[in-house]
Amino acid sequence: MSNCYHCGDPVVEKEKIVFDDKEFCCQGCRTVYELFSENGLTTYYDFEKNPGASPKEVLSKYNYLDNSDIVSKLLDFEEENIQIIRLYIPHIHCSSCIWILENLNSLHSGVTQSQVVFSQKKVTITYDSDKISLKELVLLLSSIGYEPYISLENFDDKPKLIDRSLLYKIGIAFFGFGNIMLLSFPEYSNEYFKSEDFWMVEYQDFFRYLNVLLALPVFLYSATPYYISAYHSIRTKTYNIDIPMALGIIVMFLRSIVDIFFQDGPGFLDSMCGLVFFMLSGKLIQQTTYNFLSFERDYKSYFPIAVTKIKDEVEVPIQVYEIEKGDRLLIRNEELIPVDSVLISDIAFIDYSFVTGEAVPVEKKSGQKIYAGGKQVGNAVLVEAINSVSQSYLTQLWSNEVFDKKSTQKVKTITDRASRIFTPTLLTIALVGFIGWTFSSFNDAFNVLTAVLIVACPCALALTAPFTWGNVIRLMGKQKLYLKNTAVIEQISKIDAIVFDKTGTLTSSLGQQVYYEGIDLSKSDLVAVKNIVRGSNHPLSRRIYTLLPETPVEKPESYDEIAGKGVQGVFKGDLVKVGSANWVGVLSENKNNQTRVYVSINEEVKGFYVFENEYRKGIEPLLESLDNEGYDLYVLSGDNDGERKMLEKLVPEGTEMVFNQRPDDKLAFISELQKQGKNVMMIGDGLNDAGALAQSNVGISISENVNVFTPASDAILDAGSFSKLYSFLMYAKKAMKTIKMSYVLAITYNIVGLSFALSNRLSPLVAAIIMPLSTATIIGFVTLISTIYAKKTIEKKVLKKY
Amino acid sequence: MGVIYILICISIFVASVFLYLFIKSVRSGQFDDQYTPSVRMLFEEETKKKKKEIETEQESN
């Protein structure tokens, strides 16, 4: 089978389109190719094979962009006829995408400039609103397969100021560190060779005062995050690692000033700047983020900005926040229902996959209630709102306090816990040393006190965690588990209970794989089958119905549904039977554990539809190994317990299964487990899991395609890596072990340093050697160990024997 | 031996220039997106070539 030249999808022989010697899967792809080749943009296909996406029909979807109020809220900048917009385009995935989007001006002269930020999948377009309106621009993008995603979230989303201060601070710290180190060399050579160096004698003061000058910006600017953090931690009585850090920095600086101005020595300015530089670098390393993913999504990123309201028989686009109870709304194909409403049209098929993860659309009849969050599949329908957006069933979930709590809640990290022991011990040692030395001389005592505080400054201790976590988060990302931040790793390592959502998590939200086996059905047969199953509400019938190609709707002459057997009817004179093997007339059936639906036409058995097991691959071994490791497992489901039997075969014994769970029930279930003292990991996917994900200690949302939308969570797991969950959990534990091991190393360095300090032998030279040496070895150690562990756990091919 | 003052002043000055350039480049947003420019740089040339080709084609037509 060949692949489409434009989008790379397999080309179905019957629908193949050949144009310009190239094969296309559909008209849409061909049109885009034609458009590009007419405009000399075929370079698009040079960077990447089959980079495109087939354009979707959008038609009236963006009518609301005619409304200038809405447009001006979306724009980043507007001045006379120059407008600038930033659009999120999920399809951006390769260099071809960057190329075509940055050459938009070749397609339309109204576009003056366009620039892609690949990591965020965003494009900023400057255009002339006299020549092209925003709506036309969006339609242009859609027509070339780059449909932007505009949601309620964009509404007040103004460009955020990027915080670049960390980079400035690092730059200045490095400048200070490097220069002071060079200028200190004469001092050290002096000390080491015990010679009276000519330069030193002559220019000592010049070197030293210059060092003070260079150290000032580092002390006053680069190190500020530590002062602030230390201050906060004292005020909130949390006593984190930044207190001894800040203390160390301040003491180093003051002692150096005293030494230099009293002509007592060169001070510790180079060590201080080096320390600040290394610590800030650790911060930078830890900042690994996945910009193209969003971990903070709420319902706003799913909801449209505007809907079509029917007012006096006229369609008007209105903003969703303006919907009032009683408004009549027109919901088109693929449009989301923004408020709880009642169906006015005869029939609607609502796809709740955003909410529940269930991909099979639900049929609704006139007068039935439709909850917000569903998507209409099929023809446009009319509904009447019975609530406002914020009062809808689904959106009310976000008024739960867990969504506020999460942001302020600070988890105690291993570094903080270590510092709770470390800080008091350090202060005691410093004090003891001070008192001990006062018997000899007060001056020495002062030196010892400051030396202890300087050398014990927990640089290595504080650097361990950032570098380990930084490495771990990157390695996990390579295996397609994307963590929100490094704190999550530690949380994962502490998990003892795991809660799975059923629909969309244990099962695949892509829906069941359904395929046909047997004698090929002719076109008229397909029409007949489709029209027969149309009348049935049985889930299997519905699946077959959606699988079959679009056909004209015709009423069969007769129609009958026999419960537990199947459906039969006469269509254009043919007797069509769709149902179970015995009933259709198949005598021996070799099932292979599959669900099959047989089709016969005029009592001749044609073949059957196979419904593949919709549970994800590798679930059984995964759950088994989790169970063996001692994790408590739970399964939550919003559905009824119809599948309990099926699930019992899959999950290990003793797994608790709870059905009929509404979104807030799930949340309550998690917090109940937490009250029992458990550290809960929740794995879910739909919007209905959002509450539970937020409440749990670690919420992981699972996604078939990480580029599409997942509810707010601590981590996003690619569905393909689901079977690796066990390895991820093990790796997180190993990462913790790595940190503990490196603490031993760090403490060893500290003891060596302290022995120098307490015996009043800590010269600036010793400090200048110990500090970078310990830092470098610690960083090397944790990086090496965590990489080795990753090789042993997550990077190994999992579960070969299955 | 006043030369040491001059030399060190020069070295600090050069270092300061680099610091200034670094800060300036951070401020201009050079480090905000570290991926796209690396790709963009590779095809800038080809676009121009393409455009010229078209123009010459149009002219010859």
B36 closest CB neighbour out of A103, A106, A118:
A118
- On the question of pLDDT at A366 being above 80, the answer is yes
Q: What is the pLDDT of residue A590?
A: 59
- Cβ-nearest to B19 among A47, A175, A183: A175
CB contact under 8 A, A117 and B33: yes
Q: Position A350: which residue type?
A: I
List, as one string, the DSSP characters of A218-274: IIIIITHHHHHHHHHHHHTT---THHHHHHHHHHHHHHHHHHHHTTS---SHHHHHH
**Do A419 and A241 contact (CB within 8 A), yes or no?**
yes
Q: What is the pLDDT of residues A133-176, one digit of tens each?
A: 888 888 888 888 888 888 777 666 655 666 788 899 999 999 99
Query: Is A27's pLDDT higher than 60?
Result: yes
Alpha-carbon distance of B44 to B48, in angstroms, equals 7
Residues A133/A62, Cβ–Cβ less than 8 Å: no
Query: What are the residues whose beta carbons fall under 8 Å from the beta carbon of A708, sequence distance 6 or more?
Result: A90
How big is the CA angle at A408 (ends A406 and A414), to the nearest 5 degrees? 90
**Contact flag B19-A203 (C-beta cutoff 8 Å):** no
User: Is B36–A119 a contact, with Cβ atoms under 8 angstroms apart?
Assistant: yes
3-state DSSP percent of chain B in helix, strand and coil, to 5 = 80, 0, 20
pLDDT (0 to 100) of residue A257: 92
Q: Are A216 and A260 in contact (CB under 8 A)?
A: no
3-state secondary structure of A763: coil
The answer to whether the CB atoms of A164 and B27 lie below 8 A apart is yes
Is the pLDDT score of A415 beyond 70? yes
Highest mean pLDDT among A281-290, A536-545, A739-748: A739-748
Q: Which residue has the higher pLDDT, A560 or A624?
A: A624
List of chain A residues whose C-beta atoms are within 8 Å of the C-beta of residue B11: 179, 182
* pLDDT 10s digits, A276-302: 998 898 888 877 666 666 676 667 777
A667 in Cβ contact with A691 (< 8 Å): yes
- Are residues A40 and B26, on separate chains, in Cβ contact within 8 Å? no
Question: Given an 8 Å threshold on Cβ–Cβ distance, is B50 in contact with A43?
Answer: yes
Write out pLDDT tens, residues A188-219. 777 777 666 666 667 778 888 999 999 999 99
Concatenating the DSSP letter of every residue in A508-568 gives: -TT---EEEEESPPPHHHHHHHHHHHTT---HHHHHHHHHSPP------SEEEEETTTEEE
C-alpha distances (whole Å) from A605 to each of A227, A356, A564, A732 are 80, 37, 19, 55
Strand, helix or coil for residue A365: strand
Bridge partner list, A314:
A311
- The alpha carbon of residue A491 is apart from the nearest alpha carbon of chain B, in Å, by 29
Contacts A–B by Cβ distance under 8 A: 69
pLDDT average, residue stretch A350-367 = 73
* Type of residue at A276: V
Which of B8, B33, B50 has its CB closest to that of A40? B50
pLDDT band of A407, cuts 50, 70, 90: very low
Contact between A95 and B43 using a beta-carbon 8 Å cutoff:
yes
Q: Virtual CA dihedral for A723, A725, A731, A733, nearest 10 degrees?
A: -150
DSSP one-letter code for A361: P
CB–CB contact A119 B23 (8 Å): no
Do A269 and A211 form a contact (C-beta atoms < 8 A)? yes
Q: Is A182 exposed, middle or buried (0-12, 13-18, 19+ CB in 10 A)?
A: middle
> Could you say which of A43, A167, A199 has the minimum Cβ distance to residue B31?
A167
Taking an 8 Å cut-off on Cβ atoms, the answer to whether B50 and A99 are in contact is no
Structure tokens at A240: 């984190």
A199 close contact with B: CB closer than 8 A: yes
Higher per-residue pLDDT: A642 or A488: A488
Question: Helix, strand, coil: what percent of chain A each, to 5?
Answer: 50, 20, 35
Number of neighbours of residue A450 by Cβ within 10 angstroms = 23
Tens-place pLDDT, residues A313-336: 788 888 887 888 888 888 877 778
Q: A549 pLDDT exceeds 90?
A: no
- Average pLDDT of chain A is 81
Does A119 reach chain B within 8 Å, measured CB to CB? yes
Tell me the per-residue pLDDT of A420-458, one tens digit each, with 9 for 90 and over. 888 888 888 888 988 888 888 888 888 888 888 887 777
Taking CA–CA distances from B21, the nearest residue in chain A reads: A171
Cα dist. A72→A83, A113, A149, A317, A776 in Å?
A: 9, 19, 17, 15, 52
Cβ atoms A799, A621 nearer than 8 A: yes
Phi, psi for residue A23 in degrees, rounded to 5: -100, 135
- Interface probe for B, chosen from A46, A100, A116 (most Cβ of B below 10 Å), is A116
- In this predicted structure, what is the pLDDT of residue A2? 75
DSSP 3-state assignment of A416? Answer: helix
Q: What's the pLDDT band for A382 if we cut at 50, 70, 90?
A: confident
Radius of gyration of chain A (CA): 33
For residue A40, the distance in angstroms to the closest alpha carbon of chain B comes to 7
- Which of A120, A175, A184 to probe the B interface (max B CBs under 10 A)? A175
A206 chain-B contacts, CB cut-off 8 A? 4-5, 8
Nearest CB among B23, B29, B54 relative to A40 is that of B54
CA distance A95 to chain B (A): 6
Cα–Cα dist A544/A523, whole Å: 15
Cβ contact B29–A116 (<8 Å): no
Asked whether the beta carbons of residue B16 and residue A171 sit closer than 8 angstroms, the reply is no
Find all residues with CB under 8 Å of A483, minimum gap 6, and list them: A473, A476, A477, A489, A714, A715
Nearest Cα residue to A463 out of A288, A281, A289? A281
CA dist A459 to A245, A466, A747, Å? 7, 11, 11
B39: chain A residues, CB-CB within 8 Å: 95, 98, 118
Chain-centre distance of CA A28, in angstroms? Answer: 31
Chain B contact residues (CB < 8 Å to A): 1, 4-5, 8, 11-12, 15-16, 18-19, 22-23, 26-27, 29, 31-36, 39-40, 42-43, 46-47, 50-51, 53-54
| Selected residue of B9, B40, B49, B58 to mutate for chain A interface (largest A Cβ count, 10 A) | B40
Mutation for testing the B interface, residue in A45, A100, A105, A167 having most B CBs under 10 Å: A167
Consecutive 10-residue runs of chain B (61 residues): their mean pLDDT? 83 93 89 79 59 51 48
Chain B residue with minimum CA distance to A202: B1
Q: From chain B, pick out residues whose CB is under 8 angstroms from the CB of A183.
A: 8
Cβ neighbours of residue A505 closer than 8 Å, sequence gap 6 or more: A357, A683, A684, A685, A702
Question: Which one-letter DSSP state was computed for residue A159?
Answer: P
Which positions in chain B touch A171 (Cβ < 8 Å)? 19, 22-23, 26
